[in-house]
Amino acid sequence: HSQHTPHGSSWCGPGVPAPAAAPPLPWPPSPSPPVPPHVAARCQNLFESQRTELLAGLLRAVDMKSINHENVCCLNTALVLLISAHRRGALGDALDALDATAADAIALRRNL
């Protein structure tokens, strides 16, 4: 059974007007201002110094038994980092660093 609304009313109820449509966004969007070089360099240095920890944290956040639409972004981001490492010719180094991080974590757990 379908519900019809008389002209001038909405699904909100008889006599209640539908909300106004949002104005369209400008297209193409205006460009963001450039990031100052010193800020970009600091961000890159921080990222590079924490790359293994970031990658390990992303991979720990997702368990194959509990992957869902809310945490799949962690797995996707980890894959992007690994693909980037591969393109730089550093995939082996990245995987070795992850192995070392995992071994350190296992040793730490055993000593607790």
Is the model more confident about 81 or about 11?
A: 81
Give the tens place of pLDDT for each residue, 38-97.
999 999 999 889 999 999 999 888 888 888 888 899 999 999 999 999 999 999 999 999
pLDDT, residue 65, reads 86
Of 58 and 104, the one with more pLDDT? 58
* Residue 78 · residue 58 · CB < 8 Å: yes
Residues 6+ apart with CB under 8 A from 93: 85
The residues near 8 (Cβ < 8 Å, ≥ 6 apart) are 15, 17
| CB within 8 Å of 97: residues ≥ 6 apart | 51, 52
pTM of the model: 0.61
Beta bridge mates, 13: 10
For range 23-49, the mean pLDDT: 88
